[in-house]
Structure 1
């Protein structure tokens, strides 16, 4: 699990191959394997694809081959993965089931003897499966379909998934009550039954219930008889309001093929998490109840989408997940209505004391967690600030401003209980985090709250509340000082987990201290050096050093804080370029590793220290909180970020980190901002085109060299100072030009 509107404002626009199967597939006859872009071999797609061609070279402007989303909402498998007769028979060429040539599945008994026919969609998909049947025996067996996001956790041997294969062969589990690691299966909670009438065949039978996220679909029979299968397809129900899910409004491209794939896999993961608000999951409690996704998210518009944490599960909206998913959405599909509906539904759940539940209160399980996650109140504030920054929607801000101030009052009341001025959630009974529980006075949650105070100061200023803005700013200054005084270990060069656990220096503490401005430049560099030296391992960055004293947070691979760390590394002032380059190295290592595994197209919820999905078959493998690199690549590597509400002010500050070029487009309420840059042998060139109604800051990196800089051919920096009346400055790492007007501009740096 993830412990894890319609606006009246101004912005209204149209809206790897998989891992080896090993013993799991030892008894199965393989028919064909496909990578996510075996899609590249599908009709209408190019022969050469970044997803299937190991030698693929990115070409400026050619970003569409990276898009994983389908062009419409009808999707077909790309291959038959396997056909296993078991105690029955598979008659005919299994591949015929993809091309209108019937393959007969014959069962001689119950589901434990049924033949299995497994289809590979080549990537993560979701929706309602459709099977075309050419015929069936007079008394047909019951036809079932099982789903799995990976081959590793498809229950195809008796031992798999705690005995699931006896009930639902080919399934992983989305049901916490049967199949969660350590829970033995006692009934079929995961397969879907396809109703058929032999007197009305041939016909297409359609699943009455959607399955949120899967790559593989396995047909099996229960009872004696046969069916002839000659077609399988899927009603792709993710991103339902996007008529053409592949039609991105924003995009990114660079000289690095792997990083490009990482950007698009992140965008696709969030699309896979975007569904109608009436398709949430209310985890079942009644014995024998099958899993289903048909609950309504409280307070959400039932006619609109929301963004769930995961496609398979939990299938509810979470504050912390939305903190990553919303910016990804703004930068890719620009599906603002889905963000608005999600954020409004969570906001409307606020309790009378100002506390905001972390998740959609769908079902008793979520109701039981209503006060568990104090951390997520900070993400509630952050999400509203990001919404304001990206959309400039004043009406939306005004609507929820009282809720924001109440949430901040609750957070400040918690901090006020500590004479030393730090937050701890023990007394409030809200110690839960994104992946662990800790009741101490932590660097991580205090850094998040310090950022909230800065955000609220800015929002209060925008609303003309100067006194409130000053109060929030003063509290932020005091809190940052308290964190540094109490939690920075100068001897070690890193931030502690908490006052109560002073000898553990976790990833989340150090990354967020950098990102929230708690750490100064020297502390930021030392903290990143500490993590690199102590917590990096085979597949990326661990939550804590393997040699650290035992704690609740690992070591493991957590995509959410790993995304923080990658971003923090790019944020460190870095004359040598090594720390910023290590941010891209972390992306290639951890996210590249996930791409090499199933489903090879979307990001995992978590991974254990061995690099396997962290909670086995229950792990979500299309989890939006892991999509942080998509935001980082646009906002820091390409360098485009809003600095004023709705991009009325923006900055383009590239972080090349070893790349030779990058380009992209960012949708804004005023129109698109298009940017490209190239690192040259003797300098750097940036081009930017911005719409009317915006004012920008453009920057070129100097890497500590002396450079002259020209804007549209006019000298603005002579190597030491601004030339003439140009609004140019330098901090030794960049030359900045402010007040750049709308239109197309070229900023060129020449080494001196």
Structure 2
């Protein structure tokens, strides 16, 4: 995640669909992870693919090991030189190498672009069979998409003449609107003619690229054989494709979205000594070799993006950590990430938003007050999913100090709400606002609820009561000052009362601030005013305040999808809108290059938000992976480490869904089918867990059976069963571990 000042120049506005070569690349890439020869085919290549129950492995994009080959030669251009022989030698398809001949410097060199079929990351290897007596330098440029690879039609502010085929990776040189003045992005291979043939390995990794463009600098020739990639992401997962948790449904597009989120977070997971320290000095080449402060150097962390920033961010982890728990179960990577951030706490309790790796990070050490709330959220989520009481105890002093800092900011203000104006920490995930925001205060209210639960788990009832009382105070202050009953939506802030943003309204629903009526009205407002071509915008285009501009942002769009799934709507209309939101917003991203990973942000025209600088594998965009498991499949923890859990399916128009969720006790498995005649849920949970199982009513009167015994007759519990209904679901409470079947029969 990167937060940038506005007004750095116009962004490119060229929308390019996935090329035929790209689609073939995805096909081959998916085949490597289980799609090849699979009886169900390949969901990433077949537009008419029909999911089959139990057949989830073809969706996995992660490689089965850490050696990855390119899948195609995307393009070849001789320019002022020559390409002699078959470029497919670089794919290992021919025994005879291909010769690249250059008559001058890099502007005259031939270009050969390899396609890895999807976003990948690591160190390139190239077989060099021979070279001229005085060989030219061998360079490789990287780009996540064809659209923003430097070329005559996409010069990237001059990058085309210096680093052809590159996009811009985490440096200000060549940022949209600024000139590209030196080669800061290509990687150089040094050729020693006396030691050929040899396989050369890049000395630096590149995280986040689909296309690798080979070029020469200087006169001479080089004979090249097979290229490959030492896949460096998820380094401590021996088989990255071996997921511990999975999801599958009757909707092919939603399935792809789930697995793209899982893969994006994997692609952001690296060893902690592969961060970026920036901005670079003029002339400094690309490198990712900085140590994350406070992290164990022998373990992974989860960066915000594979290409950039390549540091750990509090807000990004709020999405990435639960995605990790639900997919790879790589808890050590989460632990290391959270610990590294916690170790940076300032003496007054303020928690920096990101890893303090380089000067850029140090310069904004107190910028993001919002991210202090995410620090608390992340540790609560960790406790909820892992049940690790010792880890909670280790960082409890930091949590209480962070909460004390947030409360000290609120206590300074007579409105009873947080405003970061007085402390100069107004930075925000998407905009800067020093006012009394609905969004920030909703996050703080949730923190207070979470701390009350955590304090209670530690046996501290007094602190729990204090946190709970404050949560009520903040909730009341938000509703009395920021709810606009006439409009039917929450305001951005008391200072900007005529803007009703996505984040304010979605988080008010998710954090329990909005009543059922307010929740419905707020979501209806967003649907009617803020939805556009590619999904929901951050704010309605009709907002009169010119300082608040609409754009597409995945973080609050994930909040909105989750909020809609949460609404108690017996008709299922809100839930269906949530799934349509996912198909529209995230489906658009998957239809574009590079395909299979999720973007940092997008412009109004649907293009990536910061052109060649945009990260196209950004984990904070993976919210649907969480929602599809927790809310659509319905499995989520309600007690520490899944000691208690619930399975409350939200069909949203789907006919079936199934999946498996890793827990400290073993996996919880669930599958359900829905029809006009009723609903059937199968659930299996390990020893040490107790769960609530529910079936949706669909707005009908239903009779419910648990394991063949009637427990709800349509109006009342039967036989002393602990069953209740809110009109939306019928819930059976405290079901013991083991396998159970819950069936709802439609009566009227």
Same fold (TM over 0.5): yes
- Does the C-alpha gap of structure 1 residues 158 and 666 become closer, same or farther in structure 2, counting only changes over 3 Å? closer
Relative to structure 2, which stretch is displaced further, 457-466 or 129-138?
A: 129-138
Aligned residue in 2 for 1:369: 364
For residues 579-619 of structure 1, give each alpha carbon's deviation from its aligned partner in whole angstroms, at most 9, with x where no partner exists. 11000000000100000111101100001111111111111
CA–CA separation in structure 2 for the residues paired with 1:408 and 1:662: 39
Q: 1:375 to 1:31 in 2, by over 3 A?
A: closer
Deviation at 1:285, TM superposition (A): 3.6
Deviations 1:192-227 (A, max 9, x none): 001111222221111000001100000000001111
- Residues in 1 aligned to 2:523 and 2:136: alpha-carbon distance in whole angstroms: 60
CA distance in 2, matches of 1:349, 1:572: 38
- Name the residue aligned to 2:243: 248
Cα shift at 1:41: 5.2
Judged with a 3 Å threshold, the aligned counterparts in structure 2 of structure 1 residues 661 and 352 are, in CA distance, closer, same or farther, namely same
Which of the residues 504, 507, 512 maps onto 2:502? 507
Q: Does 1:2 align with 2:40?
A: no
- Equivalent of residue 46 in structure 1, options 31, 36, 39: 36
Distance 1:19 1:698 in 2: 45
Residue equivalent to 1:85: 78
> Secondary structure at the residue paired with 1:345?
helix
Q: Measure, in 2, the Cα distance between the counterparts of 1:278 and 1:43.
A: 28
Relative to 1, partners in 2 of residues 1:137 and 1:432: Cα closer, same or farther, differing over 3 Å?
Answer: same
Question: More displaced, 549-558 or 527-536?
Answer: 549-558
Q: What is the distance in 1 between the residues matched to 2:164 and 2:235?
A: 29
Match of 1:56 in 2: 49
Correspondence list, 1:70-109, <5 A: 70-98=63-91, 99-100=93-94, 101-109=96-104
Matched residue SS, 1:113: coil
What's the counterpart of residue 117 of structure 2? 122
C-alpha distance in 2 between matches for 1:673 and 1:42: 28
For residues 440 and 102 of structure 1, do their structure 2 counterparts lie closer, same or farther at Cα, with a shift above 3 Å needed?
Answer: same
Structure 1 match to 2:403: 408
**TM-superposition CA deviations, 1:122-156 (whole Å, max 9, x none):** 00000000011121111111000000000011001
1:337-356, aligned counterparts within 5 Å?
A: 337-356=332-351
Cα distance in 2 for residues equivalent to 1:233 and 1:209: 15
- Of residues 323, 343, 357 in structure 1, which corresponds to 2:318? 323
CA contact (8 A) 2:70 2:115 kept: yes
What does the per-residue CA deviation read over 1:43-69, in whole Å, with 9 as the maximum and x for residues that have no partner?
A: 974242000111111000000000000
Structure 2 unmatched ranges of 5 or more: 5-13
What CA deviation, in whole Å up to 9, does each residue of 1:404-432 have, x standing for no partner? 11000000011111111010111110000
Equivalenced residue count is: 733
Change in Cα spacing, 1:591 to 1:33, as seen in structure 2 (3 Å) is closer
Partner of 2:520: 525
- Structure 2 vs 1, CA of residues 229 and 571 (structure 1 numbering), >3 Å: closer, same or farther? same
Distance 1:347 1:169, change over 3 A: same
Name which of 451, 468, 471 aligns with 1:456. Answer: 451
Q: Which moved more, 1:277-286 or 1:738-747?
A: 277-286
Aligned mate of 1:630, from 609, 619, 625:
625
Given candidates 553, 560, 581, the residue that maps to 1:586 is 581
**Structure 1 residues 159 and 240, CA, compared in 2 at 3 Å: closer, same or farther?**
closer
- In 2, the alpha carbon distance for the partners of 1:441 and 1:283 equals 33
Instruction: For residue 293 of structure 1, report the CA deviation from its aligned partner.
Output: 0.3
- SS at structure 2 position matched to 1:111: coil
1:354 match: secondary structure: coil
CA contact (8 A) 1:146 1:218 kept: yes
Equivalent of 2:696 in 695, 701, 710: 701
Cα-to-partner distance string for 1:429-460 (whole Å, 9 max, x where unaligned)? 00001121110000000000000000000001
Which residue matches 1:437?
432
Deviations 1:496-539 (CA, angstroms, capped at 9, x unpaired): 00000000000000000000001011001000100010000000
Q: 1:147 aligns with which of 131, 142, 145?
A: 142
1:553 deviation in Å? 4.3
1:73-104 Cα shifts (integer Å, max 9, x gaps): 00000000000111111112222321243111
- The reply on whether 1:543 has 2:533 as its aligned counterpart is no
Q: Secondary structure at the match of 2:24?
A: coil
The answer as to whether partners of 1:284 and 1:291 remain within 8 angstroms in 2 is no
Report the counterpart of residue 560 of structure 1 in structure 2: 555
Q: 2-side partners of 1:573 and 1:418: how far apart?
A: 35
Distance 1:519 1:164, change over 3 A: same
Once the two structures are superposed, residues 540-592 of structure 1 have per-residue CA deviations (whole angstroms, 9 ceiling, x without a partner) of 00001111123544210000000000101111111221111000000000100
Cα separation, 2, equivalents of 1:331 and 1:80? 35
Describe the SS at the equivalent of 2:107. Answer: helix
Q: Indicate the residue corresponding to 1:475 in structure 2.
A: 470
Map 1:179-190 → 2, pairs under 5 A:
179-190=174-185
Which region of structure 1 is more displaced relative to structure 2, 131-140 or 164-173?
Answer: 131-140
| Residue number among 604, 615, 637 corresponding to 2:599 in the alignment | 604
Q: In the superposition, relative to structure 1, how do residues 605 and 386 fare at CA in structure 2: closer, same or farther (>3 Å)?
A: same
Tell me the TM-score normalised to structure 2 length. Answer: 0.96
> What do residues 346-371 of structure 1 show as CA deviations (whole Å, max 9, x unaligned)?
00100111100000000111000100
**Quick check: 1:665 aligned with 2:655?**
no
How far apart in 2 are the matches of 1:521 and 1:671?
Answer: 35
Which residue in the other structure is 2:60 paired with? 67
SS across alignment from 2:672: strand
Structure 1 residue 40 displacement after superposition: 4.0
State the alpha-carbon separation in 1 of the partners of residues 555 and 691 from structure 2: 30
Determine the C-alpha separation between the residues in 2 that align with 1:33 and 1:732.
45
The answer to whether the Cα contact below 8 Å between 1:158 and 1:166 also exists between their aligned partners in 2 is no
Distance (whole Å) between structure 1 residues aligned to residue 541 and residue 35 of structure 2 = 45
* Aligned residues of 2:234 and 2:270 also touching (Cα < 8 A): yes
Aligned CA RMSD, in angstroms, stands at: 1.5
Q: Report SS of the residue matched to 2:421.
A: coil
- Tell me the CA shift for residue 713 of structure 1: 0.5
SS in 2 for 1:219: strand
Deviations 1:177-200 (A, max 9, x none): 201111111110000001111222
Q: After the TM superposition, which residues 259-270 of structure 1 pair with which residues of structure 2 at under 5 Å, given as runs?
A: 259-270=254-265
CA contact (8 A) 1:175 1:190 kept: no
State yes or no: 1:34 paired with 2:29.
no
Please give the secondary structure, in 2, of the residue aligned with 1:429.
Answer: coil
Question: Matched residues in 2 for 1:21 and 1:691: separation?
Answer: 45
